[in-house]
Structure 1
């Protein structure tokens, strides 16, 4: 059943993350990225609040500067050169980078449900990138937790849920161990 990659189940069963640092061009062009983001927005969203934002990072050097500035603000001591270089390198991985920002709205819909919707949007973004023939990677890291970074990316009051790197794999992706269904799928009553 999963041999036909045009099958939706095969597509779901074959999605896996590629390492952002190993991605090469091409990445999705503007039209394809728009299609991917439209697909990512078609997730469960109780209350129709769209409690997430997609920020395409066009200028990677500007992102690296922002990350470094916010990182320095959080430290009481001067960060090391290698530490700063790792943060800057993070911003330059893969051909395309979309930052997904959780933006819960004041509502009768619980914040937790809105955050879950944001996570669903990221999962759907990863699947849409896979369906378009690309590899994607959802990363957080130190940059995701820097206060003020989401606001500087244009989403005041938001919280970075992840940096989504998209490109082409430089080498075949390795499959990672997956949990056995018997370990994660329960029945009630047992």
Structure 2
């Protein structure tokens, strides 16, 4: 990276009790429980802007967003219904379509890796995953709950065609955003002693 690639100086990190408190209770929301009101157009723009501030080796921006309102998701769910009947568990496949229709807003994150670049595809895909997490944090920062999910229609070839996902692209996730009537319940967390190795 040359000096010409760099912009203005940014503030150095400072301790933030607010951020620590947020991360301490970070929890994805049940997508089916998300209700309105959803973010305004200005808030959606801010969520996307913050989400895009993501680690990205090579400055490739190897992802794109599709902002989906209620109408487009209702139409998508209807189009996916015949495909649900072809899944291994049709009843469950139909049931999870409610994750698409219940929230007031969904952001489809599509991984768009650049093949043949010096930056491995795997690192580019990790960047798309980091975008998903950043979008959740951004939604939370604006006072909304969020859920990052994929489900069967993120992998079914015919469903991908309905989503407009091109060859070489993948669904990194749907970020569903809205409000919760009740706080989400805590879930099991890892035993850090089993997950961390300290090396001097």
CA distance in 1, matches of 2:26, 2:87: 41
* SS, match of residue 128 in structure 1: helix
CA distance in 1, matches of 2:84, 2:57: 35
Structure 1 stretch displaced more, 168-177 or 33-42: 168-177
Deviation at 1:161, TM superposition (A): 1.6
**Match of 2:106?**
97
CA distance in 2, matches of 1:14, 1:41: 23
CA distance in 2, matches of 1:148, 1:121: 25
Deviation at 1:163, TM superposition (A): 1.4
Deviation at 1:183, TM superposition (A): 2.2
**Match of 1:16?**
27
CA distance in 1, matches of 2:122, 2:155: 18
Q: 2:46 aligns with which of 21, 35, 41?
A: 35
Structure 1 stretch displaced more, 114-123 or 51-60: 51-60
* SS, match of residue 157 in structure 2: coil
**Match of 1:65?**
78
Q: Indicate whether 1:145 and 2:155 are aligned.
A: yes
CA distance in 2, matches of 1:32, 1:175: 27
Q: Indicate whether 1:53 and 2:76 are aligned.
A: no
CA distance in 2, matches of 1:149, 1:84: 12
Pairwise CA RMSD: 2.4
Deviation at 1:24, TM superposition (A): 1.3
Counterparts in 2 of 1:108 and 1:87: CA distance versus 1, 3 Å: same
Task: Please give the per-residue CA displacement for 1:99-123, whole angstroms capped at 9, x wherever unaligned.
Answer: 1111111211101000110111111
- TM-score (norm: length of structure 2): 0.80
- TM-score (norm: length of structure 1): 0.83
Contact 1:140 1:163 (C-alpha < 8 Å) held by counterparts? yes
Deviation at 1:56, TM superposition (A): 1.1
**Match of 1:171?**
182
Contact 2:105 2:178 (C-alpha < 8 Å) held by counterparts? yes
CA distance in 2, matches of 1:57, 1:127: 19
* SS, match of residue 11 in structure 1: helix
Q: 1:159 aligns with which of 155, 170, 178?
A: 170
